[in-house]
Amino acid sequence: MRTGVLRRLAAFGLLITVGGSGVWAQQTTGDVTKIKGFKVPSYNEEGEMTSMLYGEYAQIMPDGMIQIEGLNVEFFRNREGEKSTDMNVTAPNCFFSRDRGMAVSDDDVRIARESMVVTGKGFVWDNNRERLVIMDEAKVVLKNARPDRRSEGDGEGSEP
């Protein structure tokens, strides 16, 4: 049974680690494999890491779908050889398909960037198209946003 689990993990290209130690915990019940504490990197054509998907728990289903609890996806930006976090996406639960590069959820989602936070209910993430869509109740909060002075009637561009 363990050989089948390892083949399934290899087929999805999952790198399952805890704190970079190469250790992972798993439990198999029937055809469902449960994993605790993991991360899955994604790379672009140039071999640069573009994102890292973390999960507290995962269940690999017989059909290959992965149900993740405690999702956190960190997206990276590479500028002049410097890698930094561009965005974090968190959700309590989602279903992830490594083969399709997609994740979906009906639960709350939070997207945090340096200058804004977006929250909502339900999402579809397509890693191949680099697109994340919030399905319902989307709310955007801008950080450090300044109003355009012209709209305040400072004389420039405003009518007398």
- Residue 119 and residue 140: Cα distance in Å, rounded? 7
Whether residue 127 is contained in a domain is answered as yes
Task: Decide if 154 is inside a domain.
Answer: no
| Domain assignment present for 122 | yes
**Domains held by the chain: number:** 1
139: CATH: 2.60.450.10
The β-bridge relationship of strands 116-126 and 49-60 is unpaired
**pTM higher than 0.85, yes or no?**
no
> Which domain, by its residues, includes 69?
2-148
Structural contact between residues 106 and 123, judged by C-beta atoms closer than 8 angstroms: no
Please tell me the predicted confidence (pLDDT) of residue 26. 53
Q: Minimum mean pLDDT among 8-22, 43-57, 82-96: which range? A: 8-22
CA distance 43 to 126: 14
Q: State how far Cα 151 lies from the chain centre.
A: 37
Residue 7 forms part of a structural domain: yes
The verdict on residue 119 lying in a domain is yes
> What amino acid is encoded at 146 in this protein?
R
Note the pLDDT tens digit of each residue in 102-143: 999 999 999 999 899 999 999 998 888 888 899 999 999 998
> 145 vs 149, which has greater pLDDT?
145
pLDDT tier at 29, thresholds 50, 70, 90: low
Rounded Cα distance, 125 and 131, in Å: 6
Q: Is residue 159 part of a domain?
A: no
Q: Is residue 28 part of a domain?
A: yes
Classify 150 in phi/psi space as left (phi over 0), alpha (psi -120 to 50) or beta: alpha
Domain assignment of residue 155, yes or no: no
